[in-house]
Amino acid sequence: MKIQDVFSAYKDDLQKVEKCINDNVTSEIKLIPEVANHLINSGGKRFRPLLLLICAHLCGYQGGNRFPMATVMEFIHTATLLHDDVIDQASIRRGKDSANKIFGNSVSILVGDFLCFKAFMLMSAIGNNDIFGLVSEMGNIMSEGEVFQLTKCGDVSMTRDEYLSIIEKKTAVLISASCAAGAIMGSASQKKIDALARFGRNAGMAFQITDDVLDYMAKGDDFGKSIGKDLEEGKITLPLIFAINESSEEEKNKIKEIITLHKSSKKAVREIIRLIKKYNGIDSSLQAAAGYISEAKSQLSIFSDCPEKDHLNTVTDYILSRNL
């Protein structure tokens, strides 16, 4: 089974999610939907809504609340991207000009806030206190992750554990909550809710690690621009951490100079790539991601074999293999 087969299996459900998204991004302030739709309609795969739908089906829930709940997860995800691009001073998102570049930082932040509050309005209408508590805790953890990442910006002494803590808080917790919310709507047992939460957490860790690996594996001009931007922003991800840990003192100083002085020239990019290749930063990172995928799959043992279980396993295989 391929990831396209999974999306096809939930095509009708995802179309209803799209309708719910479009219905709830409206405002009499016309700039709000313009900015929100700039990102929402920019080619995102609806990965988090898909996982919520699969987990809801797996736990026997096919009621109408799964569509606004999937919308909640997509709105919160979109809001974090709008905020992230302002913090990172990014100019590109999903291959086109970022919202903050077009509309300005203030507008991007405020529209992100709008989407967050709209998400909580949707949850209030659903009226499930367990889900409300889950998402509230998730938002708190994600905020902590943002602040923690800021404190480690440009810090070449950042440890692997610190990196993993950041991606868990910033990425994995939202994917975990998407899976758990589907189980909660299905009135699953606490053991099954916890298992799907752990599945999502491990899948999310692998998702972010492979994202960070892909930044170092792109080809052509886009590669240099992408890596140069990461270095300019002071982002230190797992492939570079592996290289730093194994490098000589002279090499460490060179990396520190590139990161702290924001030297994102092609020469600096090539030097970083050389060191990552020299110390197997890519392979080591992919091995770490594979470990998380294996752990994610193990969490599904509590469920009997069924199409939905196969769908979740296919999603994890996709995470590990995408564009590599």
DSSP 43-82: ----HHHHHHHHHHHHTT--STTHHHHHHHHHHHHHHHHH
pLDDT at 226: 56
**Rounded Cα gap, residues 278 and 63, in angstroms:** 53
Q: Render pLDDT for 29-62 as a digit per residue (tens, 0 to 9).
A: 999 999 999 998 887 789 999 999 999 999 999 9
- Altogether, the residues listed in the chain come to a count of 324
The CATH number that domain 3-321 falls under is 1.10.600.10
All residues at 6 or more sequence positions from 260 whose CB lies less than 8 Å from its CB, including other chains: 154, 156, 234
Most confident of 2-11, 92-101, 267-276: 2-11
Can you give the pLDDT at residue 217?
A: 78
pLDDT over 70 (residue 156): yes
Q: Range with the lowest mean pLDDT among 93-107, 137-151, 277-291?
A: 93-107
Mean pLDDT, residues 14-39 taken together: 94
Q: Three-state SS for 92?
A: strand
Say what the pLDDT of residue 230 is: 67
- Give residue 229's pLDDT band: very low, low, confident or very high (50, 70, 90): low
Q: Looking at residue 146, what is its pLDDT?
A: 93
1-15, 86-100, 292-306: segment of lowest average pLDDT: 86-100
Tokens 């570079």, residue?
240
* DSSP E strand boundaries for the chain: 92-93, 96-97
18-49 burial, b at 16+ Cβ within 10 Å, e below that, comes to bebbeebbeeeeeebbbbbebbbeeebebbbb
Task: Find, among 7, 11, 37, the residue nearest to 24 by Cα.
Answer: 37
User: Which amino acid is located at 62 in the chain?
Assistant: Q
- Determine the average pLDDT of the residues in 258-262: 76
Domain ranges in the chain are 3-321
Looking at the predicted structure, is the pLDDT value of residue 216 above 90?
A: no
Average pLDDT over residues 215-230: 57
Tell me the pLDDT tens digit for each residue of 56-102: 999 999 999 999 999 999 999 999 999 999 998 888 887 788 899 99
DSSP bridge pairs for 92: 97
CA pair distance 35, 306, nearest whole angstrom:
40
Is pLDDT above 90 for 164? yes
Radius of gyration of the chain (CA): 20
Evaluated on CA atoms 14, 138, 206, 189, the torsion sign reads negative
Q: Given a cut of 80, is residue 282 above it in pLDDT?
A: yes
- Evaluate if pTM is beyond 0.75: yes
Task: Reduce the DSSP state of residue 96 to 3 states and report it.
Answer: strand
